[in-house]
Structure 1
Amino acid sequence: MSNFLAVATVSASLQRLLTPRVSAAVGGAEVWVDRSDVKHQKSGVNIYMYKTSLDSVSRNEELPGRTSDGTTLRARPRVPVSLHYLLTFHGRDDELVPQRLLGATLAALHTHPILGTDLIAQVTAEATAQPPTHAYLALTDLADADEVVRVSPDPMSLDELSKLWSVFFQSPYQLSATYVASAVRLEESSGTPVEAPPVLQPRLTVRGLLRPTILSALNAADPRAPVASTSVLRIAGSGLRGDRTVVRVGATELTPAAADTGATSISVPLAGGAQLRAGLQPVVVAHQWLVGDAPGEPRGGETSNPVGVVVVPQVSVNVNATTLTLTSDLTIGRTQQVTVALLDRTTGATLRQVDVPPLAADTTTVALPRPSAGPGLPAGQYGVSLVVDGAQSPVTRNASGTITGPLVTVP
């Protein structure tokens, strides 16, 4: 890794590499580091770093720099960057000076694509010489980096090159070439990392990788019946059983029935899911591995594909002179869409649907003005159903199919 001077050292190394080669190609030519819109009357090559980017190859190599609680430095944070350069060539066009300098530069960078330790050592030596060149680079440690910096062409289309030159206000185009130097790994020098504790007892666990797959998730008592908080969810698929298995229904984690050890079908009671919500919920089977001696320590494993299940609320109704209040056995989220349906007791058809105003917070109770008779809804008794994101609470019926509850009387 390198300190913050590595970026400037790369630019100085390019200048040091190209200087003798361009002066040999064109007598008196120089190499300078300046903005590309600065006019130069003499012959030479200008090196301008116009942007940086994270190195796509190395950016995922770094391990977490601190412990999980964030208090202990385990490794110094490192950032791998790529340096993008615009090289412009100056001189008399009638003598083809820019083209001669371009040819010398292309040949030099193709022949020496690596900024080696010898070249960087020359830059460091010149920084400490009398008189010094780039004296501020005396403390650079790029030569000690684990990996060398490679310089390669960064070809641009004519459209991209024209956009790059457009950022230089009222500056005419100069013959140019684009290169990228990567990867320059920068490291903050402050702080002393604490070594990880040694491995006292190695543990090896071997198992085949088998991702659980869900094909269906239905009410175990009746696959055609809705799924409620009192239901047992029957999940069918393959590879469903791991060392430890949990079933996630929305934000709720549930444990399958202990007696159910099958790999193609498991059952999980929804009762007890404190965070279970009404509406469409994703169902996922998650495995944990047990690593080491029995009983083993749980480690994260595979998770299945999600399958949507509509969980219906079950409600109780309270009516007074002015207000109809419905209490759900499941939490209703403040962002969910909630309506109340009044049903024909004989056919079950929805005669009126009332939107519940937006909720201020998650709740289990919704209230709205008591409905009154009107067009399409004469006075009488009607079934009441709460609809949360399309999940409609069930009603009870007698032997003849008439709705017996919950009910509301419309005056």
Structure 2
Amino acid sequence: MSNHLAIATVTAALGQIAQAAAASAVSGVQLRFGRPPATDTATRQVNVFLYHLMPHAGLRNADLAMRGADGALVNRPRAALSLHYLISFYGTDSDLEPDRMAAAVARDLHARPRLTDQVIADAIASNSAILGESDLADSFERVTFTPSADSLDEMSRLWSVMVQTPYALSLRYEASVVLIDALESAGPVLPVLNRGPDDRGPETLAAVGPTIEGLWIGLAATDDGPPRFPSLRAAHPGAKLRFSGSGFGGDSVRLEFRNLRRDIGEDLVPVASGSGELRATLPDGAPDQALWAPGIYGVTAVVTRAGREIRSPAWPMPLAVRVTAIAPQPLASGSGMVTLNFTCRPHVLPEQIAILLLSGQEIPAEDRVAAGPTLAFRVDSDSVADGDLAIVRVDGADSQPFVIDSVTGRLTFDDSQRITVA
């Protein structure tokens, strides 16, 4: 870190860099600090003016909080600042001296933008009477000079602040970051007397925890043999689940299913593990319909090792309703607005958002007062095409209108989920 002489040390170092660079282009260059001179001068001169300083945006809050709940200092306060400099050049315009000096300074600051220990030491040695106690070189953050891309309007506003000061060819640079330590020091750190419960110290895991890396979803009648069916986009009651991943070994393993509506634990979904895979089948019995709710679940694998439970990050699983009946069927053509009743598994809660996707339309479900297996939709019979598949979306999960074809053994669309118009 550095003390209160840090800003002055940066200014002195920048002045030396600018003077040395300008002297390589024009001989006899003088160095001046402070506000640019109020009168034009033909003297070969470089003027370094620190006109603005502000908190550094990236580190202004890096040392919070500095004090504990009892008010005691726990961290030494540190100010992080950015310094803004105006470097002006004076000389004989007819000999292009300001132009030559500006180019040389821009060249050297671009090639070596960072303050080195040697440059800081030279600046302190040249001003030992006032900078002798500077410790800027001890700061772990090195000060870097960055040119400012100013428009003519911005430069005009800067010079207009300096009333009656004639404009001179100038460069603007930002120096950051300058860290200045406060004078206060934190108290000594107390020794550790107890390393956790029973003085056992930190607990470490001998192996990596469980991680779910993929999920395959299949119909209940899906053949498990190769080649495997493509995964469905959403699960449903009775669906087969295959979770691939790593770290499933242990004394026991279970799956937890959680969403905003339901938390399903280990008792409802038995799990079989082996060869880096967890297998489960979602229950589809009559009592299960009220325990589950459609929507997006987060699935977590919980492995028990030596009495300690280790959880994996959650893996998303959409759970959609399975439509088991649609009434009335067929739909009478030209009958106007008709209520279609869909029987679904599992039950849909009254607060859930249910939508019917049919013939390019999104039709909201009628209001419900309690959870149940039936959803009602008001449909214009004239807007429904004969044979269109009906898909029910509940909380973002779409029903899957597929079945296993008894002849081919492959997936096919479920005709019972088509709307017939007669």
TM-score (norm 2): 0.52
**1:266-287: per-residue Cα shift (whole Å, max 9, x none)?**
13566799998745x4766668
Q: Where does 1:219-368 land on structure 2 (aligned, <5 Å)?
A: 219=218, 221-223=220-222, 228=235, 230-231=237-238, 234-239=241-246, 241=248, 260-262=272-274, 264-267=276-279, 278=294, 281=296, 295=307, 303=313, 309-313=317-321, 329-330=347-348, 338-340=354-356, 355-356=363-364
Distance 1:351 1:289, change over 3 A: closer
SS of aligned partner of 1:221: coil
> Separation in 2 of the partners of 1:91 and 1:354?
77
1:391 deviation in Å? Answer: 0.5
SS of aligned partner of 2:155: coil
> Separation in 2 of the partners of 1:65 and 1:273?
52
Determine the structure 1 residue equivalent to 2:393: 387
Determine the structure 2 residue equivalent to 1:132: none
> Separation in 1 of the partners of 2:300 and 2:208?
15
Distance 1:181 1:268, change over 3 A: farther
Determine the structure 1 residue equivalent to 2:407: none
Q: Which runs of 5+ in 2 are unaligned?
A: 160-165, 223-228, 328-336, 404-413
Does residue 116 of structure 2 align to residue 113 of structure 1? Answer: yes
> Separation in 2 of the partners of 1:364 and 1:39?
86
Determine the structure 2 residue equivalent to 1:136: none
Determine the structure 2 residue equivalent to 1:41: 40
The one-letter code of the counterpart of 1:241 is: F
> Separation in 2 of the partners of 1:121 and 1:151?
21
The one-letter code of the counterpart of 2:178 is: V
1:7 deviation in Å? Answer: 7.5
Q: Which runs of 5+ in 1 are unaligned?
A: 129-139, 342-349
1:234 deviation in Å? Answer: 1.9
CA contact (8 A) 1:81 1:183 kept: yes
Distance 1:355 1:30, change over 3 A: same
**1:3-56: per-residue Cα shift (whole Å, max 9, x none)?**
8x687446544467569869986465412257xxx9762433234577879698
Q: Which moved more, 1:73-82 or 1:234-243?
A: 73-82
Q: Which moved more, 1:308-317 or 1:116-125?
A: 116-125
SS of aligned partner of 2:248: coil
Give the alignment partner of residue 34 of structure 2, picking from 24, 29, 32.
32
CA contact (8 A) 2:22 2:105 kept: no
> Separation in 2 of the partners of 1:73 and 1:229?
58
SS of aligned partner of 1:266: strand
The one-letter code of the counterpart of 1:340 is: L
SS of aligned partner of 1:168: helix
Determine the structure 2 residue equivalent to 1:92: 92
Distance 1:166 1:122, change over 3 A: same
> Separation in 2 of the partners of 1:97 and 1:33?
20
The one-letter code of the counterpart of 1:91 is: G
Determine the structure 1 residue equivalent to 2:217: 218
1:312 deviation in Å? Answer: 0.9
Distance 1:105 1:376, change over 3 A: closer
> Separation in 2 of the partners of 1:274 and 1:120?
79
Q: Where does 1:147-158 land on structure 2 (aligned, <5 Å)?
A: 147=140, 149-152=142-145, 154=146
SS of aligned partner of 2:143: strand
